[in-house]
Amino acid sequence: MEYSRPIATSNEGWVIEIIEAYKDAKVAIPIAAAAGKEILESDLFHMAPLVCLKFRDLISSSECQEKAKNAAIGSYIANKEAGNRNMDDPLMAFSFCYIIAHYGLGLLNEEECQSILTLVETHLAKMKIAVAD
């Protein structure tokens, strides 16, 4: 897996990156099972901030970990409670947390986040096929 990735310059580039990030997170499912733990796809949104940090080579910074996690999980809870977006869909929830983690790190602004997430919602069915591999 490639680390310290450059920030995508297009929404389509973000969709491709989210697919790769989701696949990266899915690796934890069989590893957890081998360790006697159960992780479901619906739990993967919790890993989105960590994958964000991994892809940006910021995983060793505790300050960045806190910023990414707080932004992603806090926004996830607020949006789920408000009924915004489809947070019951594992891929949408992961995508949301992944993008908002970037916002928390100051790597994306609000307008960029909204634009990327709108594209994800539009192409969610195709993305699901891509992550099923």
d(CA 113, CA 103): 7
Quickly state the pLDDT bin for 90 (edges 50, 70, 90): very high
Q: Give per-residue pLDDT as tens, 2-51.
A: 457 788 889 889 999 999 999 999 998 888 888 888 888 999 999 999 99
Quickly state the pLDDT bin for 1 (edges 50, 70, 90): very low
Q: Is residue 29 part of a domain?
A: yes
Q: Give per-residue pLDDT as tens, 110-123.
A: 999 999 999 999 99
pTM score: 0.91
Q: Is residue 3 part of a domain?
A: no
The pLDDT value recorded for residue 97 is 97
d(CA 69, CA 4): 18
Q: Which domain holds residue 61?
A: 11-131
Q: Is residue 22 part of a domain?
A: yes
Q: Which of 64, 122, 53 is nearest to 114 (CA)?
A: 122
Q: Is residue 33 part of a domain?
A: yes
Looking at per-residue pLDDT, the higher value among 99 and 38 belongs to: 99
Q: Which of 74, 30, 85 is nearest to 49 (CA)?
A: 74
Number of domains in the chain: 1
User: Is residue 86 a contact partner of residue 118, using CB atoms and an 8 Å limit?
Assistant: no
Angle (CA) 104-113-109 rounded to 5° is 55
